[in-house]
Amino acid sequence: MAPSNSSRVRRGWLIPIGGAEEKKDNPVILRRFCKLAGGRNAKILVIPTASELEDTGPGYVRIFEEMGARSRYIPVNRREDCFDDEIQRVLERSTAIFITGGNQLRLSTILGGTPVAKIIRRMNSDGAPVAGTSAGAAIIPEHMIAGGPTGPTPTEHGVVMAPGLGLTNKVIVDQHFRQRDRLGRLLTALSYNPFATGIGIDEDTAAFIDPDGMLEVVGSGGITIADPSDLHHSSMHDAREAEPICLIGLKLHILAAGGRYDTETRQAFADD
């Protein structure tokens, strides 16, 4: 007999953060992540692979421990580290995962296709929340924005894409969004295959996506939602090199703290 819906394990929360999140005065994003991770019972594993700074991992460990959680980091700096049995055991004993910022391509080239990536997917499927800031946010979806020029207009060759962790295929994430003027590259990514919703996340802002796919904005900035579900024309297929792309039927929403977006039904809601 098949298990009832109520007895099925729900996947964990996904928390892409736009980067430069507040860490001292009022760290609402990191504090809420700690609570989802289990509060004082949390065992948060920090993965600082994207960063080449030695203090990145220990810095986040200190922050989470000051919030009452247990935390540690794993030095995954080479692909071979992802095949280490002890690193895999440490990962599996965690209640939540936090992926730091840095270089997206360091993340994808070191983690991609390894046991560590597979364990992260399995843990999230089994209920563990996964958060990532900046580069760590970009790699959460199936398709990752790895680079591209700044500017508001989508263009041919306006974005560099790479495989992500595949924790969701509902969204494509771009970070430092308003601060680095990245609307054009997010729209270029959507023009390749207008299936996913594009979410552009400002600094000190996060999208808390619950197991049912409802996104809530937390933090001091905004999130730009680019919904291509009604897109009925894209000129990407015959655009010349560096030419602007024509997109007709695209919907945009700008959401501030408390705003919500259902990634399943593609409905947006203002703060109640």
| Stretch 173-184: mean pLDDT | 98
- Gap between the Cα atoms of 105 and 261, Å rounded: 28
| Average per-residue pLDDT for the chain | 96
Supply the pLDDT for residue 7. 55
Residue 7 annotated as catalytic = no
- pLDDT for the residue 77: 96
Contact present, 115 and 82 (Cβ < 8 Å): yes
Residue 46, pLDDT above cutoff 90? yes
- The average pLDDT across 44-61 equals 97
Tokens linked to 61: 């460990």
Task: Identify the band that residue 271 occupies on the pLDDT scale cut at 50, 70 and 90.
Answer: confident
pLDDT at 90: 97
Mean predicted confidence (pLDDT) in 146-174: 97
Catalytic residue among 71, 143, 176, 216: 176
Q: Is residue 268 classed exposed, middle or buried when 0-12, 13-18 and 19+ CB atoms within 10 A define those classes?
A: middle
Active-site entry in 108, 143, 191, 203: 203
Q: Does residue 87 register a pLDDT over 70?
A: yes
Percent of residues, the chain, with pLDDT higher than 70: 97
Percent of the chain with pLDDT over 90: 95
**Side chain identity at 264, as an amino acid letter?**
E
Q: What is the 3-state secondary structure (H, E, C) of 52-89?
A: CCCCHHHHHHHHHHHCCCEEEECCCCCHHHHHCHHHHH
Catalytic one among 134, 156, 191, 253?
134
Q: Which CATH number is associated with domain 12-263?
A: 3.40.50.880
Residue 97 pLDDT exceeds 70:
yes
H-type alpha helices, the chain: 28-37, 56-66, 85-92, 104-111, 115-125, 135-138, 183-192
Q: Can 203 be counted among the known catalytic residues?
A: yes
156 is annotated as an active-site residue: no
Half-sphere exposure of 17 (CA within 13 A, CB side): 25
Amino acid at 223: I
* Residue given tokens 């400002």 in the structure block: 202
Residue 138 CB partners (closer than 8 Å, separation 6+): 16, 104, 132, 144, 145, 146, 164, 173, 174, 175
Which residues fall within 8 angstroms of residue 24, CB to CB, at 6 or more apart? none
The pLDDT score that the predictor gives to residue 1 is 39
Give tens-digit pLDDT for 104-155: 999 999 999 999 999 999 999 999 999 999 999 999 999 999 999 999 999 9
- Domain parsing of the chain, residue ranges: 12-263
What integer is the mean pLDDT of 213-223?
A: 98
